Amino acid sequence: MTGKLFIQLLVNGISIGAVYALIAVGFALVFSVLKFSNFSFGGTISACAFIGFFFQKAFNQPPYWITVLVSSVAGVLIALTVDLLGFNRIRKKNSPKIYYFLSSVVFAIMIEQILTVFYGTQMYAFPSIFATTTLQIGGITFSKLDMTILAIAISLLVILIIIIDKTKLGLAIRAVAINSNTSRLMGINSSVIIVLTFAIAGFLGGITGVMLGQKYSVYASLGPSMMLKGFIASVIGGLGSLGGAIVAAILLGVVEIFATFVFGAEIVPIVLFGIMLIFLLVRPQGIAGRIAEEKA
């Protein structure tokens, strides 16, 4: 492997890692507050990709950012609907966490199925945003789209981290994540914060949907197929930790690209399985998580 190729692969790995990061952060956000892995997120991403596409088509190619905005608003609405129909009653009834998980899996299947039934017969692709798709810098090829996605992902993540770490809203989200009941005593409307968290995740899902739809084409299993990677990244990062999820997602992207290059694509799931196994055995709390020990 030449140095140039190495750097090229690294660039590719980081680009795909950025996509995983967007998904992983959506996961981690919901996990940190509600303590369950929201599988319906994959469906939300697919649905948003479709909505963005149809919007783009219906309004004869409006400026790109409007499409992204529409799609992310749609993402928020979908997330809120899923919360209302899938999680709200479970939360009210204080049912075990496993029901949230189950409910989200059912939603994942349902959204994918709805999209397949209504739109599965055709293939859809966004019109390209760039006339030429690549850029050469020092012999390394950069895909303009990938760079855009990377930039958007990083800026979104930075904004998100600032919101979470520096604002009052973020403080409230963190407090609810630690203990939603005590947060209510602080005058925080925990339900609103929980719904808001869903909304933020949905917003991310909307943006991710358009990005993914642009990069790959628009199809029903688009979100779900990427979702597992996001899920893995959020776990390796330490369940619920945003920073950890981002680091893990980028690492996952890079590892995946190199493993594919070296071993071939079929082995990658097995390599990933092995890496996860070793990782969890060595560091069960994830990159940034902490172990909550049970007190007798």
Ligand X SMILES: Nc1ncnc2c1ncn2[C@@H]1O[C@H](COP(=O)(O)OP(=O)(O)OP(=O)(O)O)[C@@H](O)[C@H]1O
Binding site for ligand X (CB under 6 A): 293, 295
Contacting other proteins (CB under 8 A), which of 30, 47, 160, 188? 188
The residues, any chain, with a CB within 8 Å of residue 25's CB and separated by 6 or more, are 157, 160, 204, 234, 242, 245, 246, 249
Residue 41: name its binding partner from other proteins, ligand X, none (Cβ under 5 to 8 Å by kind): none
Let me know: does 129 contact 145? Beta carbons within 8 Å.
Answer: yes
Contacting other proteins (CB under 8 A), which of 57, 85, 151, 155? 85
Q: How far is the CB of 290 from ligand X (least distance, A)?
A: 12
Residue 83: name its binding partner from ligand X, other proteins, none (Cβ under 5 to 8 Å by kind): none
Contacting other proteins (CB under 8 A), which of 81, 143, 161, 163? 143
Cβ closer to other proteins: 161 or 228? 228
When asked if residue 282 is in the footprint of other proteins (CB under 8 A), the reply is no
When asked if residue 37 is in the footprint of other proteins (CB under 8 A), the reply is yes
Q: How far is the CB of 129 from other proteins (least distance, A)?
A: 8
When asked if residue 105 is in the footprint of other proteins (CB under 8 A), the reply is yes
Contacting other proteins (CB under 8 A), which of 78, 172, 204, 288? 172
Instruction: Tell me, residue by residue from 190 to 219, as one string, x for binding to other proteins by CB under 8 A and - for no binding.
Output: x-----------------------x-xx-x
- Residue count, binding to other proteins (CB under 8 A): 100
Type of residue at 267: I
**Interface residues for other proteins in 40-69 (CB under 8 A)?**
none
Cβ closer to other proteins: 58 or 123? 123
Cβ closer to other proteins: 159 or 290? 290
Q: How far is the CB of 3 from other proteins (least distance, A)?
A: 12
Q: How far is the CB of 15 from other proteins (least distance, A)?
A: 7
